[in-house]
């Protein structure tokens, strides 16, 4: 059964969830805050704010800050991460305000790809692909008006490598999970927010995989000696989350099946230019995390290595695809080797990047659309089944109206707002493992 599922998943025509990238320092303009952040050594407590500045916001009754804080990647290496914090004005309740930690979708791999660098970063989510998209990238924070009105603190990480220096480990979910958890600590340590210890994780696409990985990271959540110890996750909202653990061949990864797995992935993601772009971003992201184990030359030709190194460190996701199209047209797939060397190490890195099979620390709810051709729904279907077997409470809600990947955040918002309010009120979540849900 699992082999058939794996075969079907690998045959998906598109899967931009594989977008991964890294970035070396590039000779590009960064706003002063970020230029300074890239020079800060990643030292200090997890969640410790090492730089901050007040920023304007049009959100009613709110105040906002741009921050740089300490986090760590999936290997334990400390990093500097940027983001924004938005909080209500006025005195906080005695128990403190709940914290909403937002994990964004794919924006790219270069230092200037962090959503907080967009001029109106505290606005509600604005998507590039939608008709109303008004910037070169997705930016903003879903449900920000509603959360501030409800009295919540909101923190939105950029992820490591998207403004704080270092190479972005795109779609390595454990790294982004750490960034999302440490963002809670950063927001809580900022006394002006009036934040308490209770938090909600919510994310979409790349961020969806980040929050599900975070839900299965109890040791990281419960660490002592951070900038804000004792945080509690009350719930997790994942919109269209991919999960690399489902790439695991039946019986586990071996020397024999790893080349087949990696070759199938490469072929699947060479069928279109967007897929190829995301595949090369994934390779670059994984190599950044494991430079001693992985080399781009394992998977790419000499010309491919040069092209990917240049493009990924200088461009965000849509610009990367345009650059490949301009330079190679329909010959972009020739940059991939016919056979990928060191396949087992590559396969294991991708699988491990999704996190461990551990019972989630809080109820998880997944929202998805039947027209999603970016993050294959079979991935979060398998994730739910496996987590439910471990005793987790994972609900999976099919959105009405055949929603696409990019329609998911807007369509799910009216559903997750009351779900979050119930979790913060201490109400037990309905058993999501009884049956999958279909929105009427």
| 110 against 278, higher pLDDT | 110
Rounded Cα–Cα distance for residues 166 and 158 (Å): 13
440 pLDDT tier (thresholds 50, 70, 90): confident
What pLDDT was estimated at residue 221? 98
Mean pLDDT, all residues of the chain: 93
Structure tokens at 385: 């089944």
pLDDT(33) > 80:
yes
Rounded Cα–Cα distance for residues 114 and 106 (Å): 10
Rounded Cα–Cα distance for residues 417 and 403 (Å): 19
pLDDT, one tens digit per residue, over 330-360 is: 999 999 999 999 999 999 999 999 999 999 9
The dihedrals phi and psi of 282, each to the nearest 5 degrees, come to: -65, -45
Q: What ranges do the domains of the chain cover?
A: 2-19+257-352, 32-244+359-438
Burial track 251-281 (b if 16+ CB lie within 10 A, e otherwise): eebeeebbbebbbbbbebbbebbbbbbbbbb
C-beta of residue 429 within 8 angstroms of C-beta of residue 422: yes
pLDDT, one tens digit per residue, over 364-414 is: 999 999 999 888 899 999 999 999 999 999 999 999 999 999 999 999 999
Provide mean pLDDT across the span 121-150: 97
- Detail the DSSP E strand segments found in 33-152: 49-55, 62-72, 78-88, 97-103
Rounded Cα–Cα distance for residues 303 and 319 (Å): 19
Taking Cα atoms as reference points, which of 366, 436, 62, 430 lies closest to residue 201?
366
Q: How many residues does the chain have?
A: 440
What pLDDT was estimated at residue 3? 40
**Helix/strand/coil for 124:** coil
CATH number of 32-244+359-438: 3.40.50.1820
What pLDDT was estimated at residue 274? 86
Give the number of other Cβ atoms within 10 Å of residue 428's Cβ.
Answer: 9
pTM score above 0.85: yes
Q: What percent of the chain has pLDDT over 70?
A: 94
Contacts of 57 (CB under 8 A, 6+ apart): 63, 64, 86, 122
What pLDDT was estimated at residue 9? 35
Helix boundaries (H) for 72-171: 144-150
Give the helix/strand (H/E) hosting 377. Answer: helix 377-389
Rounded Cα–Cα distance for residues 69 and 45 (Å): 9
Please give the distance of CA 377 from its chain centroid, rounded to a whole number.
17
**Helix/strand/coil for 87:** strand
pLDDT, one tens digit per residue, over 61-112 is: 999 999 999 999 999 999 999 999 999 999 999 999 999 999 999 999 999 9
């Amino acid at each position: 059964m699992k082999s058939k599922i794996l075969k079907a998943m690998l045959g998906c025509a598109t899967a931009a969830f594989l977008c991964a990238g890294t970035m070396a320092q590039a000779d590009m303009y960064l706003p002063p805050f970020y230029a300074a952040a890239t020079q800060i050594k990643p030292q200090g407590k997890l969640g410790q704010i090492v730089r901050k500045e007040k920023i304007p916001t049009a959100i009613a009754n709110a105040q906002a800050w741009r921050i740089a804080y300490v986090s760590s990647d999936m290997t334990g290496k400390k990093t500097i991460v940027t983001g924004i914090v938005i909080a209500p004005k006025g005195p906080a309740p005695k128990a403190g305000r709940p914290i909403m930690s937002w994990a964004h979708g794919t924006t790219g791999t270069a230092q200037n790809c962090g959503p907080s660098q967009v001029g109106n970063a505290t606005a509600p989510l604005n998507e590039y692909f939608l008709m109303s998209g008004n910037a070169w990238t997705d930016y903003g924070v879903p449900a920000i008006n509603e959360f501030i009105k409800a009295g919540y603190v909101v923190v939105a990480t950029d992820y490591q490598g998207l403004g704080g220096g270092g190479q972005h480990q795109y779609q390595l979910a454990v790294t982004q999970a750490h960034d999302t958890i440490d963002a809670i600590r950063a927001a809580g340590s900022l006394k002006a927010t009036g934040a308490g210890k209770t938090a909600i994780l919510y994310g979409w696409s790349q961020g969806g995989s980040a929050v599900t990985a975070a839900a299965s990271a109890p040791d990281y959540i419960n660490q002592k000696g951070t900038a804000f110890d004792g945080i509690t996750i009350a719930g997790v909202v994942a919109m269209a989350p991919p999960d690399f653990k489902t790439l695991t061949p039946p019986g586990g990864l071996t020397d024999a099946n790893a080349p087949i797995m990696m070759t199938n992935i490469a072929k699947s993601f060479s069928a279109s230019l967007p897929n190829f772009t995301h595949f090369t971003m994934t390779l670059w992201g994984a190599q950044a995390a494991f430079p001693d184990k992985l080399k781009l030359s394992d998977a790419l030709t000499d010309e491919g290595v040069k092209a990917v190194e240049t493009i990924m460190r200088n461009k965000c996701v849509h610009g990367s695809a345009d650059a490949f199209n301009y330079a190679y047209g329909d010959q972009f797939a020739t940059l991939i080797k016919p056979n990928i060397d060191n396949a087992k190490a590559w396969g294991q890195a991708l699988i491990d990047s999704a996190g461990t099979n551990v019972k989630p620390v809080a109820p998880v709810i997944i929202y998805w659309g039947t027209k999603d051709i970016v993050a294959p729904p079979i991935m979060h279907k398998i994730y739910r089944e496996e987590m439910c077997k471990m005793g987790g409470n994972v609900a999976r809600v099919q959105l009405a109206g055949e929603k696409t990947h990019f329609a998911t955040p807007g369509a799910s918002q009216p559903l997750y707002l009351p779900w979050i309010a119930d979790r913060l009120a201490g109400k037990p979540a309905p058993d999501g493992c009884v049956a999958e849900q279909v929105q009427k």
